[in-house]
Structure 1
Amino acid sequence: MSLNSFTAGDKVLFVAPATVDQAAFIQVKNSVQEQVGSNGQTAFEVFERVSEAPLIKSSYNLIYSNLFSPSVSIHTPSMFSHYLTTLAAGGRLILEEVVLLVDLANTICPITRKSTDLESMLKLAGFVDVTVTNVAPVSDETLASYFRLWGTTKIEQGVSRLTGKFGIAHIEAKKPAYEVGQKMKLNFKKKPSNKKAVWASVSTDDIEDDDLLLDESDRVKPSKESLARPDDCELTEGKRKACKNCTCGRAEEEEAEANGVVSLDLMDDIQDEIVEVDPTPKKAGCGSCTLGDAFRCSTCPYLGMPAFTAGEKVALGGMFAQDDIEF
């Protein structure tokens, strides 16, 4: 970690796992505090608790995450969102994380991401100018320390198999130069325009007269007779009967009537009137209260009681037949 990149007044947050070397952290914190001065600030937060930490919005302009080695801690999308909220507008995030340098085959490992995956996560969280400045392969000694942190006992076997396949990605990103949720006043006032001048630029010769598109037959209003359905069925005993090759639908109507089905042709005898129908069902008279709630109205005094025979005295049984007050 470079300790010469701080200026007076900087507010710096260090995020590291609980396994960090306390002596090394205190040394870094004291050195940074001297550089930022009395107007600056240095703070520390445990990596595993940062997502739920009560960090103040826009309170830091620099966040250093997971830069104390060795560490196998993995950043999450919720952490990146929390970092974005905690940073001030234009603030920077500097982080490190163990990543894969090559795809692993037939190996179950806690490290599954590459540096490009971290870059995409930061961009989706809202960071800009995301840059992977370095991906350094880890030494076998550092790799062995990772296995110790994972609690693996077969350290030598794991190092021999995964040597040269892990690296430490150093990534820097910035928060946009505006706050999340920041409001800006927009001026929607339009300059007054000369409407007459606009319409004057349109030639009247270019406007088509709609009436010129109609001929005399289009202006004739249809009569009721012309709108009526043609009726060419045979007249038998004063009543129209469907002909042999009926196509007007009368044959279907006669068949329905023969089967006891009544059809209504709403197109016959159209009248300019509105027929109002009351959809509320008519209530039957009282007198079926003894049959149960299904036959009782909403104001029935027997509502909620079981069915009974008319004239029968209703008695409560079981625990309801006993007094709840003893003398």
Structure 2
Amino acid sequence: MSFDSLHTGDKALFVAPATVDQNTFVQVKDSAQTKVGETGQVSFEVMDRVAEAPLNKSSYNVIYSNLFTPSVSIHTPDMLSRYLTTLTSGGQLVLQEVVLLVDLANTICPITRQSGDLESMLKLAGFVDVTVKSVTPVSDKDLAAFFHLWGTTKIEQGVSRLSGKFGITHIEAKKPAYEVGQKMKLNFKKKPTGTVKKAVVWANVNSDDIEDEDLLLDESDRVKPSKESLSRPDDCELTDGKRKACKNCTCGRAEEEANGVVSLDMMDDMQEDEIVEVDPTPKKKGCGSCTLGDAFRCSTCPYLGMPAFSAGENVALGGMFAQDDIEF
């Protein structure tokens, strides 16, 4: 395990699964403590509980995560977010994780990510300068150790089927050189150098390239519309001070009345101080074609659904409808 990123006085955090060999961990911790010196600090945290661990904000210069082997632990978004908060500004994260080298077909496996997926997760968490240093294929011996950690009993069968399909990715990333919520004073008084005056900018514009908007209009566009040209064509007759659709209506008033739309002609015979009250609710009254059947009735006819009848005749239902449906 390399500690090239460690310097004298640094504070380092090692994160590893609980299955790591204790002797190996003690050797790594002693080597790291020698690297940072007496003014530095080396700490350890279990990977499974690092998301809820009492880690102080901006307290470590570098974090080494999951570098001990064999390990099948994976990094979650909550863990990466916690790493970002725990690192100081510009701090470094060094991690390893088992990834897929190829897509697995018809195989259920705890490892589902490739190296590019983990790289994207780090960027989404807020890390910068994310670099995949290496992706090393997993040997069959290490793969057998992985199956043992997963609790699989058919180790030989699993190794023969998944040999050469796993790798260990080594990724390094950095925390941005600023803290969340950090404030910075902006100086708006000082003008930036090389400022070009507006007059100079417009002087460089060729007037021939500017379109004259007046040339886009012809003589017909300049004619002011009259009151008659703005009013819609109307061939319906005026009855009792209101226009109603005539028999051969072509102006669209008949369709408006059939849909319950009330149209007021404010241009015809109206004074500014007049108030017109209109009740748009359809009235239950005959339309003159009620006796001919539904095909000739209007939409508000009170006789809709009834058979045709003669004027003045009481409508009577025959057949099964004339019989009482209650038997005694």
- Scaled by the length of structure 1, the TM-score of the pair is 0.64
**Structure 1 partner of 2:135:** 135
- Taking the TM superposition and a 5 Å limit, the aligned residue runs for 1:110-149 are 110-149=110-149
Aligned-pair CA distance for 1:43: 1.3
**Structure 2 partner of 1:95:** 95
Q: What secondary structure does 2:51 align onto?
A: coil
Q: What secondary structure does 2:170 align onto?
A: strand
Give the total of aligned pairs.
Answer: 267
Q: What secondary structure does 1:99 align onto?
A: strand
**Structure 2 partner of 1:291:** none
**Structure 1 residue 47 corresponds to structure 2 residue 47:** yes
Structure 1 CA distance for aligned equivalents of residues 105 and 176 of structure 2:
39
Aligned-pair CA distance for 1:271: 4.0
**Structure 2 partner of 1:265:** 264
Could you tell me whether the CA contact under 8 Å between 2:89 and 2:175 is conserved in 1?
yes
Deviation digits for residues 72-91 of structure 1, max 9, x if unmatched? 00111221122112111111
Q: Partner amino acid for 2:2?
A: S
Could you tell me whether the CA contact under 8 Å between 2:235 and 2:250 is conserved in 1?
no
Q: 1:148 to 1:160 in 2, by over 3 A?
A: same
- Taking the TM superposition and a 5 Å limit, the aligned residue runs for 1:275-290 are none
**Structure 2 partner of 1:10:** 10
Aligned-pair CA distance for 1:179: 2.1
Q: Any stretches of 5+ residues in structure 1 without a counterpart? A: 278-327
Q: 1:60 to 1:242 in 2, by over 3 A?
A: closer
Aligned-pair CA distance for 1:198: 10
Q: What secondary structure does 1:120 align onto?
A: helix
Q: 1:163 to 1:241 in 2, by over 3 A?
A: closer
Q: 1:163 to 1:89 in 2, by over 3 A?
A: same
Deviation digits for residues 222-280 of structure 1, max 9, x if unmatched? 78x99888888789999999877555678x59xx7xx9x996625244444597x9xxx
Q: What secondary structure does 2:186 align onto?
A: coil
Q: Any stretches of 5+ residues in structure 2 without a counterpart? A: 278-328
**Structure 1 partner of 2:75:** 75
Q: Partner amino acid for 1:265?
A: L
Aligned-pair CA distance for 1:17: 0.6
Structure 1 CA distance for aligned equivalents of residues 50 and 249 of structure 2:
83
**Structure 1 partner of 2:175:** 175
Aligned-pair CA distance for 1:178: 2.0
- Scaled by the length of structure 2, the TM-score of the pair is 0.63
**Structure 1 partner of 2:84:** 84
